[in-house]
Amino acid sequence: MDSSPAATPAFTLSLAFAGALLASLAVKFWLATRQMRHVALHRDHVPAVFAARITLAAHQRAADYTLAKGRLGIVATALGAAVLLGWTLLGGLDGLNVALRDAVQPRWGDMAYQLALLGAFAIIGGAIDLPLELYSTFRVEQRFGFNRMTWRLYVADLAKGVLVGALIGLPIAALVLWLMHAAGSLWWLWAWGAWMGFNLILLVLYPTLIAPLFNKFEPLADEALSARVQALMQRCGFAAKGLFVMDGSRRSAHANAYFTGLGAAKRVVFFDTLLAKLSPGEVEAVLAHELGHFKRRHVAKRMAAMFALSLAGFALLGWLSGRPWFYAGLGVQPNVGAANDALALLLFALTLPVFGYFVTPLFAQLSRKHEFEADAYASVQASGADLAAALLKLHEDNAATLTPDPVYARFYYSHPPAGSGWLRSAAP
């Protein structure tokens, strides 16, 4: 024996993974605690800038909602870390893999075994997450009056989601697994191409085929509002296939609006909850903000970044999947005489977010910069006062806190926190 176990690459990876997981947990708990303490401390005073617009009762409701979600978040974080350790270093994935491999691979071959492994992993993972999701929907959201979901609808959604997930997920998984096996040492380049193509197809199919399975979409009937919105889009030089109202109120009282689709198939979708809360001028301002994201090329930039990051990811996976220490270091014995590709995909998907967590503030900052730019665009194309009023209304109705911890907001917030940006100018 001339090398101690401490010197093996597998052991180094185990150590790095455990260290990153611990460090990310420490940062997450520290930030969550800061946020909750800050919000609790400011619970009894509406910030002076908003005092004329926001009642103390609304402010306290937002604080209580933030605290309730914060407590739930801490439980979810702890559970997530335990489950991740269970899958990896504690041998959960290894056990599942051995059982499925021995049962499926000899009779039905590599592809069937690997799809079974991915499917079983998804089902077990979903089942583990389910209790907290139920608690979040039927306890926390319910308590604050946001939940509109019935048990019946929840079960129907779940069944449809599993079905759609299997119909879409299994073919793309099979294609990627086949490329990993058949496309030689540059398989990751081919797999990346397939993955990108798949994402583009989804972008087109989602609004027309998938979203209608879950919600009703009706053309915007309000003619005055429709004319106003059309005029705005013409002013901004923006073509969309239609304006739709979605029955978001079926599931939740939270309000939203979004663009979806690609190229000429783009459509604008308003949640009915948004139209119920905002004046026509405010709706126009919100839409102008969304248009700002297109006009400032945020959407194209985001897409390019997604393409580049996934290329880097596939290249990294291509390199890692050929090293035995990648599996052993994460608690899995690589197969001998059976394909390891599904294992590589799962281990990669499990561990990458742990290391990726530390770049969260970078992406959050970039996103806030884009939000500022979209707000600036909207204040030119529509009314700045309407925009500020709409943002404040959405904050109030969604019970978003007006007093976040500055460090927490810096780390996570994808949108400018209250007290900065356009929201601030909502003050009289």
List interacting residues with Zn ion (CB under 5 A). 371, 374
- Residue closer to Zn ion, measured from CB, 282 or 371: 371
Give the chain's length: 428
The CB-of-247 to Zn ion minimum distance in angstroms stands at 23
Q: Where are the beta strands (DSSP E) in 179-304?
A: 217-219, 243-246, 257-260, 267-271
- Residue closer to Zn ion, measured from CB, 96 or 374: 374
- Residue closer to Zn ion, measured from CB, 115 or 374: 374
Count of CB atoms situated within 10 Å of the CB of 234? 10
User: What tokens appear for 227 in the block?
Assistant: 């004319």
Distance CA 241, CA 296 (A): 21
Count of CB atoms situated within 10 Å of the CB of 198? 15
| Residues paired with 244 in a beta bridge | 219, 269
- Residue closer to Zn ion, measured from CB, 118 or 378: 378
The CB-of-293 to Zn ion minimum distance in angstroms stands at 6
Distance CA 271, CA 250 (A): 10
- Residue closer to Zn ion, measured from CB, 259 or 348: 259
The single residue listed with the structure tokens 């990108």 is: 196
The CB-of-416 to Zn ion minimum distance in angstroms stands at 10
The CB-of-374 to Zn ion minimum distance in angstroms stands at 5
Phi and psi at 215, nearest 5°, equal -140, 160
Q: Estimate the crossing angle of helix 56-87 against helix 92-108, to 10 degrees.
A: 60
The CB-of-414 to Zn ion minimum distance in angstroms stands at 8
The CB-of-410 to Zn ion minimum distance in angstroms stands at 18
- Residue closer to Zn ion, measured from CB, 277 or 370: 370
The CB-of-289 to Zn ion minimum distance in angstroms stands at 6
Nearest CA among 353, 355, 350 for reference residue 124: 350
Q: What type of residue sits at position 296? A: R
| Residues paired with 268 in a beta bridge | 243, 259
- Residue closer to Zn ion, measured from CB, 341 or 371: 371
| Residues paired with 260 in a beta bridge | 267
- Residue closer to Zn ion, measured from CB, 288 or 339: 288
The CB-of-298 to Zn ion minimum distance in angstroms stands at 8
Distance CA 262, CA 418 (A): 32
Report the helix count and the strand count for the chain, using DSSP H and E.
18, 4
Q: Where are the beta strands (DSSP E) in 202-335?
A: 217-219, 243-246, 257-260, 267-271
- Residue closer to Zn ion, measured from CB, 277 or 289: 289
User: What tokens appear for 222 in the block?
Assistant: 């309000």
Distance CA 286, CA 231 (A): 14
Phi and psi at 252, nearest 5°, equal -155, 155
The CB-of-89 to Zn ion minimum distance in angstroms stands at 39
The CB-of-32 to Zn ion minimum distance in angstroms stands at 25
The CB-of-244 to Zn ion minimum distance in angstroms stands at 19
Q: Which residues contact 179 (CB under 8 A, 6 or more apart)?
A: 187, 190, 191, 194
Q: In b/e form, how buried is each residue of 236-267, taking b as 16+ CB within 10 angstroms?
A: bebebeebbbbebebbbbbbebebbbeeeebb
- Residue closer to Zn ion, measured from CB, 317 or 387: 387
3-state secondary structure of 37: helix
- Residue closer to Zn ion, measured from CB, 45 or 297: 297
